[in-house]
Amino acid sequence: MSEVGTFLFLGNALWLDFVNTEIAVDGEPVDLVRSEADLRAWLVQSGVLGARELPEVTLLPRALELRTFLRTLADQFMQGTPISAEAAATLNSLLSSRRGTVQLFRRDDRWELLFYSENVRGADALFPVVQSIADLLSAGDWRLVRRCEGPKCILFFYDTSKNHKRRWCSMEGCGNRVKAANHYKRVHVKESEREK
């Protein structure tokens, strides 16, 4: 049984956080979404769904297909290749599949116009992920999609840092490991020089 566990939310974009449910541990690929339960846990942890709004339909096959599609796009963006007309058409078809309307919702003393769907418990549960990449393409900058420079890391992020110089999935993770490795090299080289 797979342990319903902890997911990483360091991508600065929901669709990249979803791609990042495939990770590498010591260079070996590990899929954190291996069951409906895993997927539902991710939907809750990511804030897509409230714990009580879990979908009543099977989502996993569709979700994994979507994730593969998004990973291909993340790879392309990272290499400076813009979205193809074909991939945009696929996104448009995903966008058009949502049934719902916009509704006014009260938040404190303000009103917000938000999408509302009766079908949120169903297939639309994955919609925010699709919306997230659509937002990037329409209002963000796809050129800022990066992959962590950790040699064995496969995590993506949207670089929203001030100078767009973010290199690591996290400083505690790969940033630290690479620093530690460099430090080890320096110390080790010094010591071996001393031995001569």
Q: How far apart are alpha carbons 5 and 63 in whole angstroms?
A: 18
- Smallest distance, Zn ion to C-beta of residue 153, A: 3
Nearer to Zn ion, 130 or 148 (CB): 148
Convert residues 129-148 into a mask of x (bound to Zn ion by CB under 5 A) and - (unbound): -------------------x
Among residues 33, 66, 150, 157, which is the contact residue for Zn ion, using CB under 5 A? 150
Q: How many CB atoms lie under 10 A from the CB of residue 170? A: 16
Q: Which stretch binds Zn ion (CB under 5 A): 29-37, 56-64, 93-101, 149-157?
A: 149-157
CB 150 within 8 A of CB 178: yes
The stretch among 6-14, 27-35, 111-119, 162-170 that binds Zn ion (CB under 5 A) is 162-170
CB 100 within 8 A of CB 118: yes
Q: Which of 41, 63, 126, 169 binds Zn ion (CB under 5 A)?
A: 169
Least spacing, CB of residue 178 vs Zn ion, in Å: 9
Instruction: Identify residues 81-140 at the interface with Zn ion (CB under 5 A).
Output: none
Whole-number Å distance between alpha carbons of 196 and 194: 5
| Alpha-carbon distances, residue 186 vs 64, 86, 183 (angstroms) | 43, 49, 5
Nearer to Zn ion, 94 or 148 (CB): 148
Contact predicate 113/101, CB 8 Å: no
Q: Is 174 in the site for Zn ion (CB under 5 A)?
A: yes
The region, left, alpha or beta by phi > 0 then psi within -120 to 50, assigned to residue 80 is: left
Binding Zn ion (rule: CB under 5 A), the pick from 134, 153, 156, 157 is: 153
Q: Report the interface residues with Zn ion, using CB under 5 A.
A: 148, 150, 153, 155, 169, 174
